[in-house]
Amino acid sequence: MSLKDRGYADKVLRVNLTTKRCSTENLDPDVMRLLLGGKGLGAYYLYKESKPLADPLSPENPFVFVVGPLTGTSAPTAGRFGVVTKSPATKTFLDSYCGGFFGQTMKFAGYDAIVIEGASAEPVVLVVDNESVCFEGAADIWGCTTAESTKRLKGKFGADFQTVVIGPAAERLSPISGIFNDERTAGRGGAGAVLGSKRLKGIALRGTGTVQVHDPAGFDEAAWIAYRMLRMSNQIKRMNDHGTANILGLVNAAGALPTRNYQEGQFERSNEMTGEAWSKEYWTRSIGCYGCPIYCSKIAYSKTRDIAIDGPDFETIWAMGVNCGLTDKEAIIYSNYLCDLYGVDTISVGNIVGFVMELYQRNMISSTDLDGVKAEWGSGDALVALTEKIAKGEGIGELLQKGVREISKHYPGSEDFAMQVKGLEMPAYHPNAAKGIGLSYAVSDRGGCHLRGSPLAELLGGADPLTYEGKADLFKTNQLDVSIIDAGILCYFVKFGITLKEVFQMVNPCTGFEYRDPRDLERVGERITVLSRLFSTREGFSVKDDILPKRALAEPLPSGPAKGHVHELEKLRTEYYHIMGWSENGIPTEERLVELGLKEILQ
């Protein structure tokens, strides 16, 4: 069965950087029915083709660009793409997603996935012009910032080409480096370093085709309903008005806003960091990605440095502001700008700076160790100076760019407050104040991640965040929903306006797979979750790695609604394993693999 008229391009581009050979192959309809696309397709290729225990920065680690069946259609937010590989930060499964305009262009060029194999001996750019594929030397832009690289590639190939590039941080293999499509980024987990190790500076891509769905009339109606629901959502309206930071005050009120490296759950100056405050003082306009009705992105203009950035978003405002005890918006904007230029993840950078500030507070590190930087809480100057060192990998930045877990190894005793899981720095919700979120950090396939569960469903959706009852089920449901969104691929934020029912109503007429009901899609989501877990367990991960930092497990919050709370993870984790059909060590059972239909396609 051809998938060409079922939302797919029905073509995978396989690129071997070692031999400089390219080929194409068709999708397997049976695999696609089970895994849908996007994350599911990427996880399938990674599991099937990666060498167990391979170094993430070796030629043996494949790197997969993916889109989904909804990409390039009229579905809301259908312009995203994902990347799937083995993470150099965590040494386990990594998927990361990016908005902008590359995703639908890749689909229009005729590809559902681009599988990158091997490694080039010299810096190169992959040039994809519909069916034409070739390599261009990239020595002239190796070392250039993301902005300069993008400018030169578009100047060379044309403004109608979309690009993804890496920055200098990825070239030097920093495990906090990302991949950039203009100002948008697939930022978490060090995917940029994998491309850096392969000496692939980027991709220039043009696509002029279209996407055909199985039932155009049925699909158009379903997409219209989804758009309408998104426009009617109060949460989406708040995001449109005040960006993703519209929730900052609410998270703070719940006592779940990590402050000064998670020492507290509330920030005394949170009102200065809200979306409303940024809207009033800095954001000049809103922008949206391809097919997006949400327009969550805000453009901020620095009054002192004459620069503009796309952002900062909620996570960046938290990481570089609240987590460092500061409210200096100019410092946050410039630090965000430096991260984008050199190609590093703002969440990880903010965590690193907050961790260093606590080391400084405890006299475990000195300004001499930090090249003269006085890493005091609330110092915008310290934030900028440390961010620049991290972004450029200079001086103390050579160590800091490696991430919180690696830094802590140099300062005995600091492991207890190194706020990371599996090597990935944790995001903007305190696990002690939201028990389901704590579980999601611990068992997430890519480490300390806020995009596996649904923090707002717990904090703002009516569930008591301080109880354990029902949280394993809540996390499982949200995790499977997100897996489907990432298989589609749609933006995570559609969850604030539509449900799995509306996604189901779009997927069926798009693919013609005739899933019976949304529960069939939940099973697709479970297969994807189990497949990524199988990859991790093959790499040696188990219950011993599904853990939280000691600060979360043994250090009670000092104030706020969650005062006195720690996270009692073990019971909740055991309950989650049970409802997923996994062993007590967190490994999917043979019976569950057979039940989900995974056993046959993975042989």
DSSP 264: B
**Residue listed under structure tokens 């490696």:** 402
CATH of domain 220-425: 1.10.569.10
Give the confidence band of 150 by pLDDT, cuts at 50, 70, 90. very high
Residue 566, CA distances (Å) to 544, 549, 563 in order: 19, 11, 9
Domain with CATH 1.10.599.10 in the chain: 436-601
Does CATH number 3.60.9.10 belong to domain 12-206? yes
- The model's pLDDT over 404-442, given as tens digits with 9 standing for 90+, comes to 999 999 999 999 999 999 999 999 999 999 999 999 999
Q: How far apart, in whole angstroms, are the C-alpha atoms of residue 504 and residue 219?
A: 11
- Kindly state the average pLDDT of the residues 210-216: 97
Whether 164 has a pLDDT exceeding 80, the answer reads yes
Amino acid in the structure at residue 176: I
Domain with CATH 3.60.9.10 in the chain: 12-206
Q: How far apart, in whole angstroms, are the C-alpha atoms of residue 499 and residue 481?
A: 8
Amino acid in the structure at residue 323: N
Output the DSSP codes for 17-61.
TTTTEEEEE---HHHHHHH-STHHHHHHHHHHHSPTT--TTSTTS
Rg of the chain, C-alpha, whole Å: 22
Other beta carbons within 10 angstroms of residue 261's beta carbon come to 25
- CA-closest candidate to residue 244, choices 495, 598, 536, 597: 495
- Kindly state the average pLDDT of the residues 466-483: 93
* pLDDT at residue 453, rounded to an integer: 73
Whether 457 has a pLDDT exceeding 90, the answer reads no
- Kindly state the average pLDDT of the residues 43-51: 97
- Kindly state the average pLDDT of the residues 45-71: 97
* pLDDT at residue 223, rounded to an integer: 97
> Residue 408 has which token pair?
């802590």
Give the confidence band of 303 by pLDDT, cuts at 50, 70, 90. confident
- Kindly state the average pLDDT of the residues 353-361: 98
Domain with CATH 1.10.569.10 in the chain: 220-425
- The model's pLDDT over 320-333, given as tens digits with 9 standing for 90+, comes to 999 999 999 999 99
Contact indicator for 219, 345 with CB cutoff of 8 Å? no
CATH of domain 436-601: 1.10.599.10
Phi, psi angles (nearest 5°) of residue 531: -65, -45
Whether 456 has a pLDDT exceeding 90, the answer reads no
Compute the mean pLDDT over every residue in the chain, rounded to the nearest whole number: 96
Whether 215 has a pLDDT exceeding 80, the answer reads yes
- Asked if the bond preceding 489 is cis, omega within 30° of 0, the reply is yes
Q: How far apart, in whole angstroms, are the C-alpha atoms of residue 493 and residue 298?
A: 15
Whether 454 has a pLDDT exceeding 90, the answer reads no
Pairing of β 124-129 and β 200-206 = parallel
> Residue 105 has which token pair?
């262009």
Contact indicator for 142, 152 with CB cutoff of 8 Å? no
State whether residue 225 is helix, strand or coil: helix
Q: How far apart, in whole angstroms, are the C-alpha atoms of residue 271 and residue 299?
A: 20
Cα-Cα-Cα-Cα dihedral sign, residues 464, 470, 471, 476: negative
Residue 116, CA distances (Å) to 14, 85, 328, 343, 468 in order: 6, 10, 41, 20, 42
What strands lie across the sheet with 21-25, from one edge to the other?
A: 21-25, 12-16, 113-117, 63-66, 81-86, 93-98
- The model's pLDDT over 502-555, given as tens digits with 9 standing for 90+, comes to 999 999 999 999 999 999 999 999 999 999 999 999 999 999 999 999 999 999
Other beta carbons within 10 angstroms of residue 260's beta carbon come to 18
Residue 421 pairs in a beta bridge with: 424
Give the confidence band of 369 by pLDDT, cuts at 50, 70, 90. very high
**Residue listed under structure tokens 């989650």:** 576
Give the confidence band of 183 by pLDDT, cuts at 50, 70, 90. confident
Phi, psi angles (nearest 5°) of residue 267: -110, 125
* pLDDT at residue 2, rounded to an integer: 86
- The model's pLDDT over 231-272, given as tens digits with 9 standing for 90+, comes to 999 999 999 999 999 999 999 999 999 999 999 999 999 999
